[in-house]
Amino acid sequence: MRILVTGAGGQIGLALVPALQAQGHEVLATDIQPLAFSGPTQCLDVTNVPAVRALLESWRPDAVYHLAAFLSARSEKEPRAGWRLNFEAFWELLEACVTYGVKQVFWASSIAAFGPHTPRHHTPQYAPMDPIGLYGIAKLTAERLSEYFFLHYSLDVRSLRFPGVVGPGHLPQGGTTDFAVHMFYAAKKEKRYCCYLLPHTRLPMIYLSDAIRAILELMEAPAERLTVRSAYNIQGLSFSPAELVAHIQRRVPDFVCTYEPDFRQRLAESWPESLDDSYARREWGWQPHYDLPALVESMWQALEPLS
């Protein structure tokens, strides 16, 4: 397949592009910043509608993997820019995909689409959703738009509600769950970390290789088996900053974590602690491979060169 990836320079994109190439696909990786992949790359601002349409017309991809986004913290600091990127650009992209005959679209939704009235434990696939952050509002709206384009234009749009993604190779910026990556690097380099969430704030997480596998498995699933055209819940594991600290201290006994919660604490408290992903398990065989000990071990091995 010919595949276009937007936002390929982000945490997920850096791992997804090689995974798609390994499957034999011809991948054009794009980002607003220059990229360094083995295959073709191009700078692309997805809010530039004429540029997006021109690229789709010339590249003619079979599938688009749309990852370009402002994350939760950055969206709160730049709400208008966040809305433009996270929703308006997505709408324009879907319209262009219909125009230029794209067969499949993947995009990344988020647990930020849930809100304070959503059940926090084993959050069901279909639940009250009243996000309080601009990022979550945009993601929820994009979920409804995805289903609209499937129902009205037969565009095969698929999505996952990602929990916090943890993995090596990229320091994510602008998200509420970023502490789960930053803490490892801090433990390796300074043996100190100041966390912006309170110690017992539990959130759903997923290891990066599980996240990439989930994308690939969802996109390979037969369309007739899929009933969710908004975004699927996927559960990897759940942990708090304090739980992660305890595991890291088994490797770095003198690692110290302090806590100075900021505006992200309120966002985190409105999100689920765990997700019911039974739809994903039943309809396309989702099954996570990493629990917390396995995640910590894999991260620690990946960051060994920093020691």
Please tell me whether the overall predicted TM-score, pTM, comes out greater than 0.85 for this model.
yes
> For this structure, is 135 an active site residue?
yes
Please tell me if the domain spanning 2-165+207-233 has the same topology as the one spanning 166-203+237-270+290-306: no
CATH architecture of 166-203+237-270+290-306: Alpha-Beta Complex (3.90)
Average predicted confidence (pLDDT) for the chain = 95
The pLDDT tens digits for 277-301 are 999 999 999 999 999 999 999 999 9
| CATH no., domain 2-165+207-233 | 3.40.50.720
Catalytic residue (one of 65, 100, 135, 279): 135
Q: Return averaged pLDDT per consecutive 10 residues of the chain, 307 residues in all.
A: 96 96 97 92 97 97 96 90 96 98 97 96 97 95 98 98 92 86 93 96 97 98 97 97 96 96 94 97 98 95 81
Give 6-42 as a DSSP string.
ESTTSHHHHHHHHHHHHTT-EEEEEESS----SS-EE
The pLDDT tens digits for 180-238 are 999 999 999 999 999 999 999 999 999 999 999 999 999 999 999 999 999 999 999 99
65-to-37, 122, 156, 259 alpha-carbon distances in Å = 16, 28, 12, 36
∠ CA 157-177-104, rounded to 5°: 10
What are the structural domain ranges in the chain? 2-165+207-233, 166-203+237-270+290-306
CB contact set of 70 (below 8 Å; sequence gap of 6+): 78, 81, 82, 85, 86, 135, 174
∠ CA 10-143-47, rounded to 5°: 50
